[in-house]
Each structure stands twice: as C-alpha cells, then as structure tokens.
Structure 1
Amino acid sequence: MKSDLGTIGRIEKDIELFTKNIKEIESITLDSNENEVIERAKSYFEDTKYYLKKGDLITSFGCITYAHGLIDAIRLLHNII
C-alpha cells in the first residue's frame, strides 16, 4: 500500500509539472506538426487522469511519462528546456 501511495504522489507531481510546461508552450507559435504533437501529449495527459482515477497506476504513469516526452521534444526544439 505504501508503494501505491508513493506512485500516486509521483503521478500527481508529474500532472502538476505537465500543466506548468504546457502553459509555457501555449505561449509560443508552433507549426502544424508541432500542434499535432501537443494535441497528442494532451490526449495522453487526459488518459493519465482517467487511469489514475481507475486505480491503474502503471498505465497512468506510462501515459504521463509519454506526455512529458512529447512536450519535452517541443520545448527542446524551441530552446525552453
């Protein structure tokens, strides 16, 4: 049980970080391909919350990790990492 609480806390922290990072990106001009990547990242973000609510922590963590990877790629391209 303690492990689950640690995992939940980590996912919740990653949700907060994603929210902060997506706000940074929304303030810059992106091309259509980058916008598509952002939409996919947001979709994975929504999946993260869905699976967290269902108690599927492994899938939830996988989704938020993938969402961060997509966002980080865009941030790297625009030198905001």
Structure 2
Amino acid sequence: MPTVFHHAGFRFFFYSNEGEPREPVHIHVVKVGGEAKFWLKPVRVARSNGLDARTLRALARIIAERSRLIEDAWHDHFGH
C-alpha cells in the first residue's frame, strides 16, 4: 500500500492490488476512526465510513490541490 503523503493525521494511499480491470485514478484516505475513497477526475467521494461531511469536503480540497502529485504517483506505481 504505497503512501502518497500524510496531512493532518490522514494517510493518502493506494492499494497495490487495485483490481482488474483497474479502476480510474483514485486515492484512499484513512485516519483512526474513518476512511474514504475519492475519485480524482472530478474529485468526489466514492465511498466513506466514519467521516463527517465537513471532513470529507476538507479532504476533497486537499486532494484537488494535490491531484497532480496523486496522479503522478499513481502512474509511477502502476506504470500507466
């Protein structure tokens, strides 16, 4: 599970086995008590558990700001 970055106690990462066929670029976010999956294009919540709407909006902003970093890390890891 490659970690792309940490922010405010959250870990932003991919699962190495993202399935076949591979889903579009996305990022998983986890912190004690909650987790979420976000699509990158456009940035939106795919699913979440234990995180409130305010936190999800804040995470979406962080992901949008760092979308290039996330996408580059995705392509570096998965080779596409």
Report the structure number with the largest CA radius of gyration.
1
Tell me if both proteins adopt one fold, taking TM over 0.5 as the criterion: no
Report the TM-score, using the length of structure 2 for normalisation.
0.29
**Highest RCO, 1 vs 2 (Cα 8 Å, sep ≥ 6):** 1
**TM-score, normalization: structure 1?**
0.29
Looking at secondary structure, tell me which structure has more helix per residue. Answer: 1
